[in-house]
Structure 1
Amino acid sequence: MKQILSILSLFLVLCFAATAQNGPGKKDSAGNKVAAIKIAYLTSKLNLSPEEAQKFWPIYNKYAEELRKVRNDARKNNTPELEVEEKVLAIRKKYNSEFSKALPPEKVNAFYKAEKEFGTMLKKEWMERRQKKGEKGARASE
């Protein structure tokens, strides 16, 4: 377990170092940081063995890329939300069988739950930061 945490820590340091090279204010930097934090969160929640991780992450990367493409296309084309959610669900169903080849069923289920939890935490953090930023702006204008 310590070895996995060491590898994960090294990975996170490398991710943050790579994103820092983009410079402050770059959109990629924030997205890469969130992705690195999500990877750490999922790794922790799923407690993946090295063998499971080796099988899981390549599948996850394809899954995440398909979801990203659907969401980006929807944003560009102003696609109705219901249609986007149907596409997302289709991707999740497709990858459920792929994830099941790499992980036992309880970990696949835990993955979907952890992914949802991460999204909720991210949204909460964003809202809190937005609220604090608004409070600072209100104080500055007084």
Structure 2
Amino acid sequence: MKKIILIIVIALSASVVSVAQDDDAEKGNGGRLEALKIAYLTKKLNLSTDEAQKFWPIYNQYMSEIRKTRIDARQNKEGEIHTEEKLLNIRKKFNGEFNKALSSEKVNTFFKAEKEFGSVLQKELMERRLQRMENRKPFRQ
């Protein structure tokens, strides 16, 4: 398990620099980041073929609504609390949809893994930024 997480982190490292330069996930390397997220979720959920066939179309709808809500919130300069409330409502709605495709245990694992992925990505971005800052400092003897 640790090896898989390490592989994902290494793969993230390769794409994080360019993703960090482009805040809009719809441009640039958002596709690569989404592919890494899908790989991470696939491993965490350990889906059977039947589960995967049911799960991924629902996941794609879910992500479409999440993206649309975030884009709308940015464009309309909505408050953070209001946006988070909308996102929570989407998660609640899709919790029921995901339960049609997966066991409630796997649905719970999905939501946890999605949050974990965000944390892993954030940590990697932070480490990259710190590395760049350290590399910029002039060498003193």
TM-score band, normalised by the shorter chain? 0.7 to 0.9
Q: Distance in 2 between matches of 1:38 and 1:79?
A: 27
By percentage of residues, which structure has more helix?
1
How far off its partner does 1:93 sit? 0.4
Query: Aligned partners of 1:50, 1:139: CA distance in 2, in Å?
Result: 54
What are the ranges of 5 or more consecutive residues in structure 2 without an aligned counterpart? 1-20
> 2:138 is paired with a residue of what secondary structure?
helix
Give the C-alpha shift of residue 29 in structure 1. 3.6
Q: CA deviation at 1:137?
A: 2.0
Q: Report 1:1-142 matches (<5 A).
A: 28-139=27-138
Percent of aligned positions that are identical: 58
Kindly state the Cα deviation for residue 37 of structure 1 after the two structures are TM-superposed. Answer: 0.3
* Count of residues in correspondence between the two structures: 116
Q: CA RMSD in A?
A: 1.6
Once the 2 structures are TM-superposed, how far is the Cα of residue 38 of structure 1 from its aligned partner?
A: 0.2
| Amino acid corresponding to residue 112 of structure 1 in structure 2 | F
For 2:30, the aligned partner's letter is: G
Structure 1 residue 136, shift from structure 2 partner: 1.6
Gaps of 5+ in 1: 1-24
The 4+ residue runs of structure 1 with deviation greater than 6 A are none
Q: TM-score, length-normalised on structure 2? A: 0.77
Where relative contact order (Cα < 8 A, 6+ residues apart) is larger, the structure is 2
Q: TM-score, normalised by structure 1?
A: 0.77
Once residues 103 and 117 of structure 2 are traced to their aligned partners in structure 1, the CA distance between those partners, rounded to angstroms, is 21
Cα distance per residue 1:80-134 (max 9 Å; x no partner): 0000000000000000000000001100000000001001101111111111111
Question: 2: CA distance between counterparts of 1:55 and 1:132?
Answer: 42
Would the alpha carbon gap of residues 138 and 76 (structure 1) be closer, same or farther in structure 2, given more than 3 Å must change?
A: farther
